[in-house]
Each structure stands twice: as structure tokens, then as C-alpha cells.
Chains A and B, each alone.
Chain A
Amino acid sequence: MSGTALDIETRQKRLYSLFSTATREASEAMSRWTGGDVSLTLDEVQEISLDEITEQLELQEELLTMVVLSIEEEVGGELILTFDDINGRRLAASLIGRQPDFEQAWSALETSALCETGNILGCAYLNALAESVGIDLIPSPPQFIQDYGASVLQQALLTQAMVTDDIMIARTGFTRGEQELDWSVFFIPTVPAREAFETMLVAAPEAKSTT
């Protein structure tokens, strides 16, 4: 990655501020979508060693329900929403006004509801990020996936892995009231996107305090 004149602490503060803004926008969108029920909080933005990434992100052997939005431009990345299956199902069912039936496979309507959730908060997140950095981040239609989280993550971080072993990833958590939910949003930028962030971080004024 290109070097900057920022010290590590300042860089990390500005990076956190950048992604906090995106998380805040996504949280407001999610709150409106769920009738005030669910909100988001930025957990961390960090660079993680490639061989430790699935362990540190606690995505080892977990089978997850996910919605993936791909930004397929050179300055792009992957936004992955992960849910434990039961609560993802409950969310989808609540959005369509039904009780979840765990004996049946996900219906097309439930899948669509979850994808729309991903679309709404994903677009809010990416729009905020794009506006802050001065780039375009236009995602593909959301894709519903049920699979090992680690498997999906491997493909998502490939463009970074081609040039570095230190993978930048932002993780955001969900809460319902005071309760933390076993859901996450991961944003994994491409290398050109990382470089765009670095340029913006150097040019940014001192980071404001974030909540």
C-alpha cells in the first residue's frame, strides 16, 4: 500500500471516522426499514493478516445466511451482510408480516425481503462512503447466499490478497435495543479503493469525534 505522511493513530482515527459515517447512514436506513427495531454500530476497521483473517473475524466453520453486494468496478469491493440463519429468517418473516416456518426452506418472498434489506442498508452505507471519498460505489443487485462464511470471504478479499497479506476490512455489528445480534456487515475494498481511501485520509481535516 502507498505510504502517507499520517502517523498510525491519526490514520486509524480518520479511517474509523470514515466508516462510522457510512455505518451511521446504514443504521438510519435500517432503522427506518425495520420500524426502529434494528440499528448498526461500527465494530472495527483494521488490517488483518491473511492467514488469521477467518479466525479473527470468527468466520471459521460457521454456516451463515448472507446477502452479498458486489461493486464490480476497479475502485470497488464487496459488502457482505451475514446473519445467523434463525434470526435472519425471523427478520425476513417480520418484514413480510408472517411467522417464520423453520421446517421449510426459505421462500422466494423471504429471500427477497432479506435481499431488499441488504440493498437498502448496503446502498446507504456505500453512498455515504462514496460521498466521503469522492468516488462512485454502485453495487450489483444483492445476491442471497447460504454457505460457509469463510468460503465467501475468500473470494471477497482476493484482489487485496493478490498484492498484500494485510487485508483491510471494516466490520459493523447490529443491535436490537440493548441486545447485540449475531449479524455483521463486512466491507472489503479492492486495492484501488484502498488507495482512494488513503488519498482521502491524507487530505481530510482532523477527524471529528464519532459515536
Chain B
Amino acid sequence: MSTQLKPSTPKRKLIGMGQISVEAAPECLHSVLGSCIGLVLYHPRLHVAALGHIVLPVSAGRSGSPGKFADTALPHMLNLLGQRGANRAGLKAKITGGSEMFGKPGPLKIGAANTEAVTTALEAAGIPLIASHVGGNKGRRVCFDCATEQLIIEIIGQEKEVI
């Protein structure tokens, strides 16, 4: 079913900009993304996962919540998952988001920059990127189901996608 424009949607807790959340099955992780990247790290055997809502590619010494930057979000997510018994060796990743939402693309092209920063960080950490759904010029409402490992992506005017 394509995403229709509706006057209201049920309120639920969304992972906001720069935030990271960890959940286990049967819970889901929710967010709404534009130029930001939603990075999911999940453990297929333990059914525990973290979703980071990453805003910018590099911290470069700037202050901010750990989830705000790709280079600080990943280590923090690994730490949180490790506290839940999900060690790095068993983790897999999925990413989504990274759109250019409106206006003329500036020199930064933040959506693409975020995407590159996250994929580079995953590669450096040795975590396999199983699926990605990035780019374009539309927002995404996303839900990661910790039980099924499905990342469900809704874009206005398009059929729901599952990766």
C-alpha cells in the first residue's frame, strides 16, 4: 500500500536527531529521516539492535551527543550493544536515509556525505553492511523490527519497502 497523506498518525516514541536507542525483540525501533542516516546494528542470534540517528559525518572535535556524528555514533552503539551481550563479531548493519530534501544541492551534499561516512566507519569496524536504502529527495519513516530483522521504509507516494 502506498503511503497516503493522512491528517494524523499514531504517536510513538521516535529516535530523534543525534539519539541512539537499543531494543530487543519483540520491540521495534522507529525514526523519521531526511538527510540524516539511520544506522541499524543488530545481532541475528540475540535479536537485540541499536538504531542511531546520525546528523553529520564527522565530529572533528566538536561537542554533541555521541549519536550526532558518524564517527562517534558507531563506537557508542557498539558499546551499548556490548553491554547487552551483543559483541561486535556477531553484528550486522543496515542503513537508510541520506536524502537531499530541498533547494539547490550545496557543496556539502550532506546526505551523500553522511552515507559515505557511515559506510566507511562500518568497513573500518569490520561490520558487514547487509542492506542500504539511501539517497533521493524524499523523507523516510523507518521501523526496525528486532524480531524479524526487517527494516521497513515508508516514502510518500511509494510502496512500502522492506530491506
Contact A147 B103 (CB under 8 A): no
Task: Return chain A residues, CB-CB under 8 Å to B7.
Answer: 84-86
* Count, chain A residues at interface, CB 8 A: 34
Contacting chain B: which of A4-12, A120-128, A152-160, A195-203?
A: A152-160
Contact B103 A158 (CB under 8 A): no
Contact A145 B104 (CB under 8 A): no
Q: Pick the contact of B140 from A50, A65, A86, A151 — CB < 8 Å? A: A151
CB distance from B28 to the nearest CB of A (A): 13
Contact A72 B63 (CB under 8 A): no
Contact B5 A154 (CB under 8 A): no
Contact B18 A151 (CB under 8 A): no
Contact B32 A54 (CB under 8 A): yes
CB distance from A143 to the nearest CB of B (A): 5
A46 located at the interface, meaning its Cβ lies under 8 Å from any Cβ of chain B in the complex: no
Task: Return chain B residues, CB-CB under 8 Å to A165.
Answer: 18, 63-65, 68
Contact A60 B140 (CB under 8 A): no
Contact A54 B14 (CB under 8 A): yes
Contact A61 B138 (CB under 8 A): no
With A148-B139, A151-B32, A165-B68 already in contact, the answer to whether A53 and B102 are too (CB < 8 A) is no
Task: Return chain B residues, CB-CB under 8 Å to A62.
Answer: 8-9
CB distance from B35 to the nearest CB of A (A): 5
Return the chain B residue nearest A88 by Cβ: B5
Contact B55 A150 (CB under 8 A): no
Task: Return chain A residues, CB-CB under 8 Å to B100.
Answer: 155
Contact A152 B139 (CB under 8 A): yes
Contact A50 B34 (CB under 8 A): no
B11 located at the interface, meaning its Cβ lies under 8 Å from any Cβ of chain A in the complex: yes
A138 located at the interface, meaning its Cβ lies under 8 Å from any Cβ of chain B in the complex: no
* Count, chain B residues at interface, CB 8 A: 39
Task: Return chain A residues, CB-CB under 8 Å to B18.
Answer: 50-51, 165
Contact B16 A54 (CB under 8 A): yes
Contact A151 B101 (CB under 8 A): yes
Return the chain A residue nearest B14 by Cβ: A60
Contact B110 A158 (CB under 8 A): yes
B87 located at the interface, meaning its Cβ lies under 8 Å from any Cβ of chain A in the complex: no
Contact B32 A60 (CB under 8 A): yes
Q: Which of A52, A62, A140 has the most CB of B within 10 A?
A: A62
Return the chain B residue nearest A68 by Cβ: B102
* Interface residues as binary, B122-163 with A (CB distance below 8 Å gives 1, 0 otherwise): 000000000000000011110000000000000011000000
Contact B9 A61 (CB under 8 A): yes
Contact B16 A51 (CB under 8 A): yes
**Which residues of B approach A to under 8 Å, CB–CB?**
3, 5-9, 11-12, 14, 16-19, 32-36, 55-56, 62-65, 67-68, 99-104, 110, 138-141, 156-157
**Which residues of A approach B to under 8 Å, CB–CB?**
50-55, 60-63, 65, 68, 70, 72, 84-86, 140, 143, 145-148, 150-155, 158, 161-163, 165
Can you list 28 residue pairs at the A/B interface with Cβ under 8 Å? A50-B16, A50-B17, A50-B18, A50-B55, A50-B65, A50-B68, A51-B17, A51-B67, A52-B16, A53-B16, A54-B16, A54-B32, A60-B14, A60-B32, A61-B32, A63-B6, A68-B102, A70-B102, A143-B103, A146-B156, A147-B156, A153-B34, A154-B55, A155-B35, A155-B103, A155-B110, A158-B55, A161-B68
